[in-house]
A and B are shown apart, each in its own frame.
Chain A
Amino acid sequence: MSNFDHEFHLDDFKFARSAGEKIIDKNYSATSYAKDVWNNFKKNKGALIGIIIIIIIVFMAIIGPNMNDFTYKQIHSGQECLVPRIPGLEKLGIADGYHNGVNQYAEKGASDVYYWFGSDTQGRDIWTRVWSGTRVSLIIALAAVLIDIVIGMVYGLVSGYFGGMVDSVMQRFAEILNGIPTLVIVTLLGMVLPAGITSIIFALMLTGWIGMERIARAQVLKIKEQEFVLASRTLGAKKGRIIFSEILPNILGQVIVTSMFSIPNAIFLEAYLSFLGLGVPAPMASLGSLVSDGYKSMTTFPHILIIPVVVMAVLMLCFNLFADGLRDAFDPKMLNK
């Protein structure tokens, strides 16, 4: 005590915080895997924009075709090839129905009609056709994901887990299926089945899942030798249980990412087939068939081509951004890249 020359008074001290404030320790709870993924995903602006636009497009595909009085196959003779005209915007000089300085709507005696995206060469409303076409593309995308998971994932899990003879046979089988070009399968199926969504989905069922199968199998091969699988087996778990409740949760991230990447491929496939005349039958519309219709009048009425192309490109871009973001979110190693 002798070292202190200073005498302490009560006013030498004051509360660090205002009196009466409660001090609570900050608590960092462990975040779950799913939350971790979501937190990583949120940081990726491109992916967030992607998912928002996808939601908007899905919404438009559901309600878009019913937003005006036209139907996708209703033909209005005398109102062909009209350029877009939107109420409100027309006063600003955008989408006012003028083509080469002439008001087409007045000329064709349809001054009170509004085709928001214009009309095609047969006088059908492009707005309605684009959104019902988007619907077709999205149905195919959904089918591709389901096929990937139901067939591809299960096939890969089984093939990878059992190994040996089962694996060899299953892999040869997949290799043979993969060796037949998709184009050949779809064209041949188009002959047997009614052309359209059914035959495209059937073709996806035959070959669309092979990429997923390979990834699922490779992941299983990595995981099945690990200790926790051995522990489960020692405790007498059945094979189905080991595959689906021990191994599957560990590869789920990869599986989801792969299935997301298969969406753009499936939409592309439909677009290519429609372009070759093997897609959905007329008068049904898909994004691919709209593009291939539009290209015939590309030089005179470019809007017939541009609108479906833009919708398709935006949709594909968003799915790619979303899948990229998801992949990075599942794999934290990729984040600082």
Chain B
Amino acid sequence: MRKYILKRVLISLATLFVILLVLFILMDLMPGTPFNDEKLTEAQKTLLFAKYGLDKPISTRFFLYAKNMLKGDLGVSYAINKNFAVSDMVKDRLGISIGVGALAMLIGTVLGLLLGILAALNHNTWIDNLCSAISVIGVSIPSYVFALLLCYFIAYRLHWLPILFNTKQPFISLILPAIALSVSPTANIARFTRSEMIDVLNSDYILLVQSKGVKNWKMIISHVLRNTLIPVITVMGPILVNLLTGSSVIEKIFGIPGIGRLMITAIQENDYNVTIACAFVYSVMYIVTMLFVDILYGIIDPRIRIAKEDK
């Protein structure tokens, strides 16, 4: 198992390195410079380029950047917040973005599992049909539509919760965005849980457990659920990553100062360091999630653990 984890970690690190390189090259190919909007003469531009080291060849810049990054230095912002350290800009916003995402994932997992289990236990009844209908609608409507509806009814009409993000009450301001974001994970997890659980309920070993006279709730908790959850965990990784993409839209609607909005502004303003930092943070979150899911999967399911150790 340790060997497997080590191998996965090394591959992930290599992937991240290549992604950084690709981002760097892509940024270099982008037309325009960070100093587009300022009225500068050619001579002044050359001076600015020299000051920030942008006149050096791309390979030199890349290795310098990678070296600084290991020390936690992500360079300075060129356009958005002049000469402000990017690491500080990212740090503040990352917490908020992760907060919304984690809250949404929590709501989505709990609700999704409940809906899925309820549907599977009442298979082919109206409860099942209702749960399935809710989950199909949930995957069919973009999260920002839910966000707009929540904004309109709960915040604008009823005044229960604030529309826009308020730094003084971060938690209360995050409730609506998190609910809006949680719709699609809820629906996805519910659909998946339902079909997995029906599979498990129809299997021979559950029949055996039943014929041994194990109490119903005990059977569900310790035999059915455990086997249902294994495949469900694999879909949670991609769902979590989708949350990240979806969150930039939610951040725009609710005015949340998160990392998605920062990245969009940075790209529009050609702020190289900020863009690379944001994009890289997204990639890190993605790859770490996938790594985590892979390892967790191995720990939970002994069959996979053994198969992978053999390799």
Q: Is the CB of A176 within 8 A of B136?
A: no
Q: How far is the CA of A7 from the CA of B189 in the complex (A)?
A: 77
Q: Is the CB of B136 within 8 A of A320?
A: yes
Q: Is the CB of B198 within 8 A of A184?
A: no
Q: Is the CB of A291 within 8 A of B26?
A: no
Q: Is the CB of B260 within 8 A of A176?
A: no
What residues of chain A lie closer than 8 Å to B282, measured between beta carbons? 181, 183-184
User: What's the dominant secondary structure at chain B's contact region?
Assistant: helix
Q: Is the CB of A181 within 8 A of B31?
A: no
Residue with the greatest number of chain A CB neighbours at <10 A, chosen from B26, B140, B148, B152: B140
Contact with A along B3-27 (1 / 0, CB 8 A): 0000000010011101100110011
Minimal beta-carbon separation of A132 from chain B (angstroms): 20
B70-78, B87-95, B103-111, B241-249 - the one binding chain A: B241-249
Contacts A191-B30, A313-B141 given; does A183 touch B263 at CB 8 Å: yes
Q: How far is the CA of A67 from the CA of B69 in the complex (A)?
A: 58
Whether A284 is near chain B, meaning CB under 8 Å from some CB there, is no
Q: Is the CB of B264 within 8 A of A276?
A: yes
Minimal beta-carbon separation of A158 from chain B (angstroms): 21
Q: Is the CB of B248 within 8 A of A276?
A: yes
Q: Is the CB of A309 within 8 A of B156?
A: no
Minimal beta-carbon separation of A53 from chain B (angstroms): 12
Q: Is the CB of B279 within 8 A of A181?
A: yes
Whether B252 is near chain A, meaning CB under 8 Å from some CB there, is yes
Given contacts A313-B145, A320-B136, 13 further A-B contacts (CB under 8 A): A172-B11, A175-B15, A176-B19, A180-B23, A181-B279, A181-B282, A187-B267, A191-B31, A276-B248, A276-B264, A316-B139, A317-B140, A337-B123
Chain A interfacial positions (CB closer than 8 Å to B): 172, 175-176, 178-184, 187-188, 191-192, 264, 268, 271-272, 275-278, 291, 295, 298-299, 305, 309, 312-313, 316-317, 320-321, 324, 334, 337
Chain B interfacial positions (CB closer than 8 Å to A): 11, 14-16, 18-19, 22-23, 26-27, 29-32, 123, 136-137, 139-142, 144-145, 148, 151-152, 156, 195, 198, 241, 244-246, 248-249, 252-253, 260, 263-264, 267, 278-279, 282-283, 286-287
A selection of 5 A-B contacts at a CB cut-off of 8 Å is A191-B32, A276-B252, A277-B264, A317-B140, A337-B123
